[in-house]
Amino acid sequence: WYTYVERFAGIAGNRDGLPQLPDGDFLPGYPLNALEDYFAQQLKSRFTNRHVISARCAHLSEPQPIHLEQGRAQCQNRVLCQRGCPFGGYFSSNSSTLPWAQKTGKLTILPYSIAESVIYDEDLGKATGVSVINAQTKERTDYYAKIIFVNASAFHTNQILLNSTSGRFPGGLGNDHGLLGTHIAFHNYRAKVTADYDGLAEFSIDGRTPTGGYIPRFRNLEKQDTDFLRGYAATFNGSRYDNTDTSGFGISLKEQLASPGLTGWKAGSHMMGETIPKKESRIKLLKNKSDAWGMPLVSISVNYDDNDEKMIKDFHEQLSDMYQKAGFTNIQKHDSHQAPGLDIHEMGGVRMGNDPNTSLLNKFNQLHHCKNVFVTDGACMTSTSTQNPSLTYMALTARAVDYAVNEINKKNL
């Protein structure tokens, strides 16, 4: 299912042969710049399990027929992805999956809709639909369906299910053991290391790419070798800036532009650390407080713990040592001390598992106690790993949909 998604979305990257970061069905990867390549060679010569690779990204470096059929075009390396790409050069629902679904003639999009709760029929023993609030009029409408996928983003998915109460499920849909909303986790982005490099003066950077260097996880792989659990990955980006003074005009301006005032090379890495899901890290509904549409507000209880602090310390030590061995100078350690929630990739609360006593979803992302409801966004995750999780969400979704369709055809749903 990873291959299915990778081919459809278009993932640029190299086949790096690292078991902690499995290879996939990739488009050609983007090259490292001079400093990134230099650092990669330094790590290769000094360590057996530390690597700098081209970070994999969902950009069309070399579009295939399936991408052209979607109406997308090659990434133009403008690096303005956050504005939305008119070429569809990077994968998004707007550029790819929604237009593709519209072509079937079976997609209905309801804008200004806030999913409030899943409707459960106690006589039938299954969900029958979704209650929706119109964001503009605040009018409530019920929509009915045989199968329901709740993918509202991790925390809102938890909110919807917690708000889906009934006589059978007074604590939220499928919540027989009080686990709904618990074991929340995220990625820890607090730590950073920066440095200067005086070499490679003959190289500069012309143009842009949508990605940079990536250091896959190298701690606690084959065995436990640190005083903290799990591990972290890191970015590695090399940059060199043009400080040319462009305030003049005429001949003097032309001369300045012809002799750019380049800075030295700058290096930087930020940590992407795995946090440990814990039962006390949870989402609850505030029954006595509502938002503007009448939805109960959520209370989120989550914090960094001792494991996170040890991981940050190790990241600072290891990256500083790697930088020093590569000949970098002015090595600086940074810790933003930002609160959880200012990081990204929230996960958990509706965790998968084989045992209904310790999980809410089965291996096909189906609620143990309400078989026609599926959750395949970040809420389903049992751990965060260190990689960006969206590709996994999409693979889980494709697999769950295939399973659901087969179950319908077998009359099991």
In the DSSP assignment, the letter for residue 352 is B
Distances (CA, A) of 320 to 268, 273, 329: 11, 17, 10
113-121 and 140-144 beta bridge pairing: unpaired
Alpha helices in 103-201 (DSSP H): 154-162
CA distance 324 to 330: 9
* Domains (range + CATH), the chain: 110-185+347-413 (3.50.50.60)
DSSP state of 262: B
Give the Cα separation of 2 and 320 in Å (integer). Answer: 35
Q: Which regions in the chain score pLDDT beneath 70?
A: 244-245, 260
Alpha helices in 290-356 (DSSP H): 306-325
Tokens 């330094």 belong to which residue?
42
DSSP 203: -
Measured CA distances, 91 to 75, 150, 355, 369, 371 (Å): 10, 22, 35, 34, 31
pLDDT at 260: 67
Strand partners, 127: 120
Q: How many CB atoms lie within 10 A of CB 376?
A: 26
The 10 Å Cβ neighbour count of residue 305 is: 15
Crossing angle of helices 306-325 and 34-46, in 10° steps, is 100
242, 260 Cβ separation under 8 angstroms: yes
* Cα 56 to Cα 54: distance, rounded to the nearest angstrom: 6
Which residues make Cβ contacts (< 8 Å) with residue 265, sequence separation at least 6? Answer: 34, 35, 196, 197, 198, 199, 200, 238, 239, 240
For residue 344, count other CB atoms closer than 10 A to its CB: 11
Write the burial class of residue 226 (CB in 10 Å: 0-12 exposed, 13-18 middle, 19+ buried).
middle
Q: Which residue has the tokens 């087969």?
A: 406
C-alpha 318/C-alpha 338 separation (Å) is: 22
**Helix and strand totals (H; E) in the chain:** 8, 17
**Cα 81 to Cα 89: distance, rounded to the nearest angstrom:** 9
Residues 296-354: tens digit of each pLDDT: 999 999 999 999 999 999 999 999 999 999 999 999 999 999 999 888 899 999 999 99
Q: What local confidence, expressed as pLDDT, does residue 411 receive?
A: 94
